[in-house]
């Protein structure tokens, strides 16, 4: 093994160790019970999307609760963590929309809910007081929510058109190829 290969391997191992450590510092945004609920809803696209939307809303409720508390390092740290949770969940919600959208699953019901909620989420995120301790996480959450809102609106339009033309596939969890 050459010096370059060894160095590249060492760098890759260090990056993996840093990434694994960073993941330990930020816990999963979902409780074990919520993870189980999502697993169980895996066969129900609308249900799964609605659960993710519900959990995003719960984290934003917690953010609103924390904002009302006296400013402290602990409060800022908790807000930072909650904002990271919102970003993770909206990103995961977006990944689910991609997956179900490409399968032509009829998720219009859930998309309507996401289209109603995403602007409210964005209002909450933009209304947070500026604080350097969580500003980066706030910006990332705003960006993620903005992307999700655009994605959901576009997908709802696409699905509305698709199911006008394919009435026999309405309500299906997955469209079968013709």
Q: Report DSSP letters for 43-73, one per residue.
A: G-HHHHHHHHHHHHHHHHHHHHHHHTSPP-H
Q: For 128-159, what is each residue's pLDDT tens digit?
A: 998 999 999 999 999 999 999 999 999 999 99
| DSSP state, residue 104 | T
Tell me which residue has tokens 């994605």: 151
| Tokens, residue 137 | 């996480």
pLDDT band at residue 104 under the 50/70/90 scheme: confident
CA-to-CA distance for 60 and 149, rounded, in angstroms?
16
Answer whether residue 176 shows pLDDT above 50: no
pLDDT value of residue 167: 77
Q: Long-range contacts for 166-175 (Cβ within 8 Å, ≥24 apart)?
A: 166/104, 169/104, 169/106, 170/106, 171/106, 172/104, 172/105, 172/106, 173/43, 173/44, 173/45, 173/105, 173/106, 174/103, 174/104, 174/105, 175/103, 175/104, 175/105
83 pLDDT tier (thresholds 50, 70, 90): very high
Give 84-96 pLDDT, tens digit per residue.
999 999 999 999 9
Mean pLDDT computed over 87-112? 94
Mean pLDDT highest for which of 16-30, 74-88, 162-176?
74-88
Contact (Cβ atoms closer than 8 angstroms) between residue 90 and residue 146: no
Query: The pTM is what?
Result: 0.79
């Amino acid at each position: 093994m050459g010096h370059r290969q060894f160095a590249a391997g060492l760098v890759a191992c260090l990056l993996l160790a840093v990434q694994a450590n960073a993941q330990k510092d930020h816990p999963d945004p979902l409780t074990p019970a919520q993870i189980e609920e999502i697993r169980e809803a895996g066969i129900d696209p609308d249900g799964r999307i609605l659960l993710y939307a519900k959990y995003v809303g719960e984290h934003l409720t917690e953010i609103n609760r924390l904002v009302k508390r006296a400013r402290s390092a602990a409060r800022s740290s908790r807000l930072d963590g909650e904002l990271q949770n919102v970003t993770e969940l909206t990103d995961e919600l977006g990944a689910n929309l991609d997956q179900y959208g490409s399968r032509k699953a009829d998720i219009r019901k859930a998309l309507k809910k996401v289209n109603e909620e995403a602007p409210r989420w964005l209002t909450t995120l933009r209304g947070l007081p500026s604080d350097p301790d969580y500003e980066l996480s706030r910006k990332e959450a705003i960006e993620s929510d903005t992307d999700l809102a655009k994605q959901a609106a576009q997908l709802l339009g696409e699905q509305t058109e698709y199911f006008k033309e394919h009435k026999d596939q309405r309500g299906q969890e997955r469209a079968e190829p013709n």
